[in-house]
Amino acid sequence: MGTDSSQPRYPISGGQRTIMKLMMAIVQAADVRELLDTLIAEGYRATKISTTGGFLMRGNATILVGVEDEQVEAVLAILRRHCHPRHEFVSPVAPLSEAAAARRWTQPLQVEVGGTTVFVLNVERSEHL
């Protein structure tokens, strides 16, 4: 990674933090553990929110990582490494969303889920209070 993970990525004490981007990554449940372990081992801070995919209505996770601008690419590289695309078969009797169910499938449908969908948002201000 070329960074020294023994150094904090931003001041640990209270006050204003230098986070400039909030990365929101929607990841499959199977990838969460390894991904979080790696992020923390590499010295990033992260928060996991349990979420549900609107189409398949299956549990997934949204990982929030607040970082400095120049760390975005490194976190994307970690996400690429740990979030694996998988093919899922969706049975017509599965509890799909109403919109999906309205298509009235009679055959199992194959969808490719992930690796991950990532949103990178600008952060106006970040405080540790």
- Residues near ligand 2BA (CB under 6 A) are 12, 19, 26, 43, 45-47, 53-56, 58, 60, 64-66, 111-114, 117, 128
Q: Which residues are within 8 A (CB) of 15 and not within 5 positions of it... i.e. 6 or more apart?
A: 127, 128
Q: How far is the CB of 112 from ligand 2BA (least distance, A)?
A: 5
Q: How far is the CB of 127 from ligand 2BA (least distance, A)?
A: 11
Q: How far is the CB of 107 from ligand 2BA (least distance, A)?
A: 14
Residue 81's nearest CA partner among 25, 21, 126, 128 is 25
Tell me whether residue 52 or residue 77 sits nearer to ligand 2BA (CB atom).
Answer: 52
Which token pair is 63? 């990982």
